[in-house]
Amino acid sequence: MDRNVIICRCQEVTYGEILDAIADGATTVDGVKKRTRAGMGLCQGKTCQRRVQQIIASQTGQKPEDVLPATYRVPVRPIRMGVIGGNKDE
Ligand code: FES
């Protein structure tokens, strides 16, 4: 595969950048994410995470299912304190 192929469209991370991250010691999806920002875009890795997992597996000789996936965070949005306190007017 050409090093310039975009793997993470949201963050415009290329195959070559992912290979460089793996060469730098990344062996998990989170490791690649921290080095390249792949998976930090709008889709939060829904599009690229599996591909990154496959690339790590092929470069490290692991099975794709053995590569640790990225951690997810629960979506957060601001709420009024009254909602927590049970105020029915909030
Ligand atoms: S394609 Fe990678 S975060 Fe969306």
Per residue in 3-16, pLDDT (tens digit) is 999 999 999 999 99
DSSP for residue 6 = E
Contact 31, 52 (CB under 8 A): no
Give the Å distance between the CA of 13 and the centre of ligand 1: 9
**Taking the CB of residue 58, how many other CB atoms lie within 10 A of it?**
13
Give the Å distance between the CA of 8 and the centre of ligand 1: 5
39 lines ligand 1 (CB under 6 A): yes
What's the topology of domain 6-85? Arc Repressor Mutant, subunit A (1.10.10)
Contact 12, 48 (CB under 8 A): no
Instruction: Give residue-wise pLDDT tens across range 32-64.
Output: 999 999 999 999 999 999 999 999 999 999 998
Nearest partner of 53 among 19, 27, 29, judged by Cα: 29
C-alpha dist (Å) from residue 87 to 27, 80, 83: 48, 10, 6
pTM of the entire predicted model: 0.78
